[in-house]
Structure 1
Amino acid sequence: MGKIKTINIVLLIMLLLGYNTLHSQTLQGVVVNEQNTFLNNVSVILKSNENKTIAYRFTGADGSFSFTDLEAKEYLLQCNSLGYEKQLITIDLSKEKTKKINIILIEKPEELQEVIIEVPVALKQKKDTVTYNVKSFLDGTEYTVEDLLKKLPGIQVDENGTIKVGNQEIEKIMVEGDDFFEKGYKILSKNMPVKPLKEVELLQNYSNNKHLKGIENSDKVALNLKLEDDAKRQWFGNFDAGYGVASENRYTAYSNLMNFGKKDKYYFLTNLNNIGDDSTGDISHLIRSSNDFVVGDDQMAQQFLSLAPSTASLRDNRTNFNNAEMLSLNSIFTLSAKSKLKAIAFLNTNEQNFYRNSYDWFSDGQTSFENKEDYFMRQKRLSAFGKLDLTHDFSKKSTLEVTTRYNYADNKDRSTINFNDNNLEERLKTTTNFVDSKILYTTKPSDKKVWILAGRFINEATPQNYTVNQFVYQDLFKRDADAVKQNSANTMHFYGFEAKYLDRRPKGHLLEFATGAEFRNDDLNTTFYLIDNQAEIRPDDFQNNLKFQNYSYYTSLNYSYRLWNNFRIASSVKLNYLSQKIEGQQEVKKNDPFLLTPSLNFTWEINNKNKLQAGYNYNMKTNNLLNMYPNYLHTGFRNFTTGYTDFVKFANHSSSLMYSFGNFSDRFFMSAMAGYGFSDEYFSSQTILAQNYTVSTPIVLKDQSMIYYNLNTDYYFKPIKTNMKIVFGGTSSQYQNYVNESDIRDITSTSINYGMELRSGFSGIFNYHFGTKWDYNKFETTNVFDYTNNRTFVNLNFRFSKKLYAVLQSERYYFGNLSQNKKDFYFSDLNIDYRPNEKISLRFAVNNIFNTDTFVSYSLTDISISETNYKLIPRYALLRAEFRF
């Protein structure tokens, strides 16, 4: 019996070895022309002797291709490329485990017809475009574009709606090739229904300026949504409304109306809700959006005071007590064959309530104390935004773009604080007026040369009025008072001009030259009052009235040298002359520094799967308004800050290394990044820390450093139709500061996060999506403090029929260092969706099934430990109905 068992095992091993031998052949090759130059993007098709397509590849930058896991037999190999004769080669893999071949394509003067191979797969890649077949990733639980993008391999959507490919945030989301929102794409991704989508295109090496395509070295990525044919050139959309059932008053209503014609495109949307949904994302990306760095992109007026509290690390529908209304009207008009006008109008109002209780323990190693706060805040916000963007093509090689943006914002914040048994009320009113006009002219004197001329004007004013009805600063001011108030205003004017020239040289080299001038004037006025028996007292050291001028003249030169077909070195240098002047109440200071900023980067496309990038930058910078005001500012309850008293010049060093393996069409894709930064000198702080106030003054210290790293992997388990994502990243920084009467404090801050997700793609009744993420944080000063938090989620999707769906989402949060016995919190939500036909959907939703009413989080700084208790939106049930037309 034992012999028979042994023989069976031996036979099984031989069978497996034989199977592995039959299915482990590898074919590798390189395609070149008659001049022995590598040919990329050549279509290489592997066929059986019966002329059946088995697999296909496109050659990489080095002309290479490979096929693995092949049977040991004969194949036909077909190579196609426009301008070359088609090659058909017989390949015999029965005698060699790994076969390497070189293929020479012969030029053919007549134009060949394009060979198109339709492969019924969920994802395919052609040149710089990855195309996702939308139907292959739908399971019936998606409502918006954002829901779909979360399921596409290679694309990450974080909790705020930011969309990244690897470590790179996307530039925009287009619809049928046209862009409405630029970097404000969250308005579209969070609202546009997924129903009309046919394909999602991921565009790599993307150029925002069409004249730069094929000239600039771009690592940008963008998305393009392609619609079903029956959704083009006609009005369509949806209306979705819901109301609370057997729960306190909850409602939601939103609508999309769209028409994406060949000439004109329209996208109108509105959203009203009080269930915590954030339908806009960070609208500052819409207001100040720019996809390419154009002179003035980084300019904005400073707001020094904010009452916005820290919020829990939960989804908005758990903590966001809101009452939001949003309307957005967006149109693209084709005025003529050469002119296009883009018009956007956006109105958003929101009333938000925040509830929290906090316990904070402060220590500088010698003095320690505790603070307790019961905090309630209500914010009322109004934002109106308009944009006109006119584009005119003088010719196929010359374009003028004129853009004007206007934003008005009115924010009214009110908070009630019980601070160590003292009841206080804060009021803050902030008004913003923002005007931005930009003109951009692009011309191509030849196919490989481009001139870009840009001019810009920005005007922004941000007045703020703040009051608090109690006085707790007796120790700071050495007197009593009844209340305090502060009026502040910062008005900024900016003018800029830039000329840029790009020249794509022979052999792929690129020369870039830019020169420009920027003129910025800031007018800052702050007045701080102590209110005592209705008398207004103005302490001398708490008033600011200054004008800050910063004139910059710069020239930069970049040269990218292609050493081989797949290896590029890029060097650059920027020369910047500044003329700075600050006019205070009693003195005038001037500064005329000369700044030098060199950098060196290289990119090595090792083959069609491996890519390596590295770079070094040396950056010099000097003061700005944010650290130059001479006297103290009230920057929030208990907080006062002041600026530095003189001009300084800092030098920063940074280096990075990035590696990627695979393509988005592969089952395995990985991107990794690591970097190091060092500052010879930097702004740190000298803080007076007391129970009722903190006063922070900037100081200049030496030697600050930081290390950061990140890893993202995607792997698709084909046998079980499951995609796995693994993330790992962190930072470690070293710096110094002073607190109270302490000696200089050496601080090391470490943050590490890691986790994984699994998402299935079954065609049956059941699908799952679950994952876990751990966050570790540590501060090392005279003592060592650390903590570890965890979030785990399990989402179960049930498709009982083509008409009935159910989704159960569950989460667990764990905080390891909470002082209380309860350290974990559980949440669950249920959605049931019934779709009697293609146009109607009925939905029943229950939020916060366990009715968890509070949430406690734990956090650290180098001087404090905080435990914060947040009030959560209670359980509610919602009946919703959607109509599509």
Structure 2
Amino acid sequence: MNTIKTTLKAIFIMVFLFLNSDNLFSQHFISGIIIDNQSNEKLPFVNILIKNNENTILSYTTCNENGTYLIEFPSEYDEIIIETSILSHKSSLKKLQKEKISKKTYIVNFELEETISTLEEVIVKSKKPILIKNDTTVFRPNNFKDGTERDVEDLLRKLPGINIAKNGSITFKGKRVTRVLLDNDNLFDDNYTIGTRNIDPEIIEEIEAIEDYQKNPLLKGIKNTEDVALNLTLKKGKTDVSGDINIGLGVENKYRLMSNILSISKKIKGFGLLNYNNINQNVSPYNFVSNNFDLSKINELRFRTNNYLASNNFNILIPEEYVGSNNNLFGSFNVLNKFSNKTSLRINANYLTDNLELNNTTKTNFNNIDLSITNIYDQNKKPKVNVLDYELIHRPKQNSILNVKGKIDYTTLDINSFSTNNNSVFREIKKSEDLFINQNIEYTNKLNNNSAFQLVGKLSKNTIPQELDFNNIDVTSSGSINQDAKFIKNSFNISSKYLSKLKNGNYSLSLGIKSEKNLLTSNNDIVNFNHFSNNNDVTFRDNNLYFDFNYLFKINKWRFVFENSLFYSDVKINNNSSSTKNKKIINNPSLTTYLGLTKHSNIYINYNINNRLPELDKMYSGLIQIGNRSILSNTFEFNRIRSENVSIGYKINDFYNLFQFNSYFNYAKVNYDYLNTLFIEEDTSLNITNLEKLDNSNYRLGIETEKYINFIKSTIDLKSTLTINNYKNTLNNNDIRDNKSQSLLLKLDIRTGFNNKLNFENSIVFQNNSFSTEGLNQVNFSTFQNNFSTKFVNDRFNFIMEAKYFDSNLKTRNNSFTFLDAIFNYVQKNEKIEYELRFNNLLNRKFFEELNSTDYSTTLSTQTLLERYFLLSIRFKI
């Protein structure tokens, strides 16, 4: 308690100093307006750089949409240079001397001359220009388009250095893209797939990839980040109001109705979307078909708890649009209103409802056990998602920002299914409600050009009640079995942070208090396991007093990044009749060293130690049933999980020659880890987890390269990854087994960019997986897929033919499948009406078989597919 009082007193003192910081400095400011020297129009978003006589950047800001700016005169200099920077106009320099009076404001205006050649490097390869300046790479989309792009995501896939995952998340040069902006405005926040998957690429003038992206403009130049933002610059004169209405009807009662509208003005940006279809088209960020993780939840994992009943049985190799059938309605409303130069409000509201029909059959043979199990899942899944995001940004003064950001997410999921476990047929009903509330408040005050102070508060709550009812419909005397469970996670965090820029780097200090409370209650009426409890009542509290330190140091070609989190942890766990208390000081250090070999290449080495607490879903000891045959439990004994990680890598990013190369090696060792003990019988599978000292390890070696070859007008992208896991488990209460899994992934993409009307794309993916257990035979299987597409574009007509080949077991050759799709597209001369004829699954594949193996079993999984359909669509552009 004394420690907490001391911390609160320290935070109070820092806040007091912050609130009175204006009285600590005699400040000089520079303000002005920037216009075009020909049209006299005000120029928005021009960069203003403050430099000394040695050309070292001292401060940085950006003028607003009205062409005005305000920036502080560095207190330690008597003479400075003010420089403008923007891609569309020539740079301009002005010198300014400080007058010997207190709190002086200087007026410095600029009239800029338009130019198209202000960038330091210009790359022109096969009419594909890429412009680079400092941390910004600018792509001109018209040089990458072939006329077949339907949305921004289609266009992004063709840009060098950009990769897009199945869930829509984007990386640039291997770094995660955290924001996709519209004319420098954050309209979509984390759910940027709403924009990338639905905005017409024809309205995009340029795409800027901004590295070292800082979402808080006051911290630009003070704090370094690894974040990347993509800025979509819209065409002038064509973006006031744009959108389209798409109506599609097809055989077998297939339909697609879609409408979106984008409205842009100086003060308001808005995007609305409505999509209704039954052709497995998911334009939302939410996924209820497979185990691909939702992009919307990536940044919320540490604040959310568990939903056992929402897990999917489908781990599929083929694209999700082939699997099952849907009846999907998704609506999204996104608006950003700049009330003034000081205040803006962003609101995002999303609604999703679906009716999914999924059918999956699995036949599992267990190695070294004379047992085979067949399961059939015929599911009707009805998710309903309601999400409201909001963010208020207010700048009471030029050197301070208040950011209030929140989210309310309420998701319900009803699953009705008939499942077959060998010869027994069950009816299952699963229901869950997921309520997530998150609120963040951040106040930033820039004390001077080189330092800033922040006060941050975070509050979140996640509650998930869930229920399972099932009964054996073949047995008339069989009563239903009921499983109720409720997970709750509450988090609270308040901290103060000081950030400072040094001559050769920067550092930050953070002091705060974090409190987390997790609860789990459950009960069931299982009667087959008398030596286990049917109830769980777990409370887990963790109160932290923490101090974080980050330091970046640069010298010549070297860069060192040291990060350390030091915290005092007070843990209390009550599990049914037992209790655990643990108080300990924990240290989590990380050191990364970079060496720049050339202008475009570097090597890096990282070493870090991480100590974490076990998850709530590994702390209970009673039974929890999650399906007609699947039961979970734990033998819990408290220990922290300590892992050591080493990474070594070599990177080349040479956009001048359109060449990228990345090689890396990662090693991780975990002392305490989870030991799964599996009890497998004909009717049930019981998985008991223990936290024990196992010394598991993981190795990962990867090589990635991308190169544009001019003489064949093609881009070649090669990726290879080798992963080795050493882990332990037990089967049917036998001795602990030492296991090793190895996975080799090879991926080769070739994309042509011929000047003629015909182009091709081909992607080859080969994966070899092997599992070995000491004293037993090795299990080995390989998968192969090849995706080939040809595109023909002639004026207003284009044609796409896609052939996808999958083989989930190269040894047997009995699991190969081919899918054919085709799209014919025609645009009228006025470009306002577009016609599309789509043929999906032309060969009418009705199921897909996939073979998977583990160290103890081999499973043949069969998925029912969406049958062949033809769809004729008419698109009206606004």
TM-score (norm 2): 0.83
Instruction: Give the drift of 1:346.
Output: 0.9
CA distance 1:389–1:34, change in 2 (3 Å): closer
Instruction: Give the drift of 1:38.
Output: 11
2:435 counterpart of 1:440: no
In 2: Cα distance, 1:588 partner to 1:493 partner = 20
CA contact (8 A) 1:305 1:634 kept: no
Q: Which residue of 2 aligns with 1:510?
A: 506
**SS at 2:867 equivalent:** coil
From 785, 789, 813, the equivalent of 1:791 is 785
Greater shift in the superposed pair: 216-225 or 694-703: 694-703
Q: Which residue of 2 aligns with 1:727?
A: 719
2:178 counterpart of 1:175: no
2:611 counterpart of 1:617: no
CA RMSD of aligned residues (A): 2.8
**SS at 1:737 equivalent:** strand
- What amino acid does structure 1 have at the position aligned with 2:791? N
In 2: Cα distance, 1:620 partner to 1:371 partner = 39
From 612, 637, 660, the equivalent of 1:646 is 637
CA distance 1:276–1:375, change in 2 (3 Å): same
CA distance 1:715–1:692, change in 2 (3 Å): same
TM-score (norm 1): 0.82
In 2: Cα distance, 1:414 partner to 1:263 partner = 47
From 390, 394, 397, the equivalent of 2:396 is 394
Q: Which residue of 1 aligns with 2:41?
A: none
- What amino acid does structure 1 have at the position aligned with 2:756? G
**SS at 1:238 equivalent:** strand
CA contact (8 A) 1:652 1:679 kept: yes
In 2: Cα distance, 1:182 partner to 1:574 partner = 28
In 1: Cα distance, 2:868 partner to 2:339 partner = 51
**SS at 1:636 equivalent:** coil
Q: Which residue of 2 aligns with 1:375?
A: 377
In 1: Cα distance, 2:802 partner to 2:116 partner = 42
From 279, 290, 296, the equivalent of 2:283 is 279
- What amino acid does structure 2 have at the position aligned with 1:504? K
Residue pairs, 1:61-80, within 5 angstroms: none
CA-to-aligned-CA distance 1:449-494 (integer Å, 9 cap, x gap): 122211111122110110111299x9xxxxx953311011122222
CA distance 1:249–1:519, change in 2 (3 Å): same
Q: Which residue of 2 aligns with 1:605?
A: 596
CA distance 1:794–1:304, change in 2 (3 Å): closer
CA distance 1:617–1:723, change in 2 (3 Å): same
2:285 counterpart of 1:251: no
CA distance 1:263–1:787, change in 2 (3 Å): same
2:806 counterpart of 1:806: no
In 1: Cα distance, 2:598 partner to 2:312 partner = 49
In 2: Cα distance, 1:287 partner to 1:431 partner = 17
2:326 counterpart of 1:322: yes
Residue pairs, 1:198-213, within 5 angstroms: 198-213=205-220
CA contact (8 A) 2:538 2:619 kept: no
CA contact (8 A) 2:160 2:658 kept: no
Q: Which residue of 1 aligns with 2:27?
A: none
**SS at 2:316 equivalent:** coil
**SS at 2:660 equivalent:** strand
Q: Which residue of 2 aligns with 1:682?
A: 673
Gaps of 5+ in 1: 1-32, 41-79, 86-109, 291-295, 475-479
CA contact (8 A) 2:173 2:653 kept: no
- What amino acid does structure 2 have at the position aligned with 1:271? N
In 2: Cα distance, 1:228 partner to 1:673 partner = 40
Q: Which residue of 2 aligns with 1:24?
A: none
From 651, 676, 692, the equivalent of 2:683 is 692
**SS at 2:637 equivalent:** coil
Greater shift in the superposed pair: 516-525 or 333-342: 516-525
In 1: Cα distance, 2:365 partner to 2:129 partner = 54
CA distance 1:484–1:338, change in 2 (3 Å): same
In 1: Cα distance, 2:301 partner to 2:484 partner = 28
In 1: Cα distance, 2:224 partner to 2:488 partner = 37
Q: Which residue of 2 aligns with 1:876?
A: 869
From 230, 236, 243, the equivalent of 1:237 is 243
In 2: Cα distance, 1:343 partner to 1:285 partner = 20
2:666 counterpart of 1:672: no
CA distance 1:156–1:672, change in 2 (3 Å): same
CA distance 1:542–1:664, change in 2 (3 Å): farther
CA distance 1:180–1:36, change in 2 (3 Å): closer
In 2: Cα distance, 1:241 partner to 1:810 partner = 26
CA contact (8 A) 2:190 2:296 kept: no
From 569, 584, 592, the equivalent of 1:578 is 569
Q: Which residue of 1 aligns with 2:517?
A: 521
CA-to-aligned-CA distance 1:644-700 (integer Å, 9 cap, x gap): 432112321001122211333432111222211011222222222222222222221
CA contact (8 A) 1:630 1:642 kept: yes
**SS at 1:811 equivalent:** strand
In 1: Cα distance, 2:714 partner to 2:265 partner = 38
Q: Which residue of 1 aligns with 2:157?
A: 150
Instruction: Give the drift of 1:641.
Output: 1.8
**SS at 1:206 equivalent:** coil
CA distance 1:307–1:334, change in 2 (3 Å): closer
In 1: Cα distance, 2:798 partner to 2:731 partner = 58
CA-to-aligned-CA distance 1:748-792 (integer Å, 9 cap, x gap): 011111121111112322111112110111101122011111110
Instruction: Give the drift of 1:112.
Output: 13
CA distance 1:603–1:111, change in 2 (3 Å): farther
Instruction: Give the drift of 1:327.
Output: 0.7
Instruction: Give the drift of 1:237.
Output: 0.6
- What amino acid does structure 2 have at the position aligned with 1:617? N
**SS at 1:231 equivalent:** coil
CA contact (8 A) 1:481 1:531 kept: no
- What amino acid does structure 2 have at the position aligned with 1:692? D
Instruction: Give the drift of 1:628.
Output: 1.1
CA contact (8 A) 2:607 2:645 kept: yes
From 465, 468, 492, the equivalent of 1:466 is 468
In 2: Cα distance, 1:39 partner to 1:464 partner = 56
CA contact (8 A) 1:287 1:407 kept: no
Q: Which residue of 1 aligns with 2:129?
A: 122
- What amino acid does structure 2 have at the position aligned with 1:133? R
In 2: Cα distance, 1:645 partner to 1:299 partner = 22
- What amino acid does structure 2 have at the position aligned with 1:701? K
Instruction: Give the drift of 1:604.
Output: 1.8
CA contact (8 A) 1:529 1:539 kept: no
In 1: Cα distance, 2:419 partner to 2:224 partner = 53
Instruction: Give the drift of 1:84.
Output: 12
**SS at 1:646 equivalent:** coil
Q: Which residue of 2 aligns with 1:484?
A: 481
Instruction: Give the drift of 1:583.
Output: 2.6
Q: Which residue of 2 aligns with 1:452?
A: 454
CA-to-aligned-CA distance 1:162-198 (integer Å, 9 cap, x gap): 2112332211111111112222211211111112111
Instruction: Give the drift of 1:116.
Output: 5.6
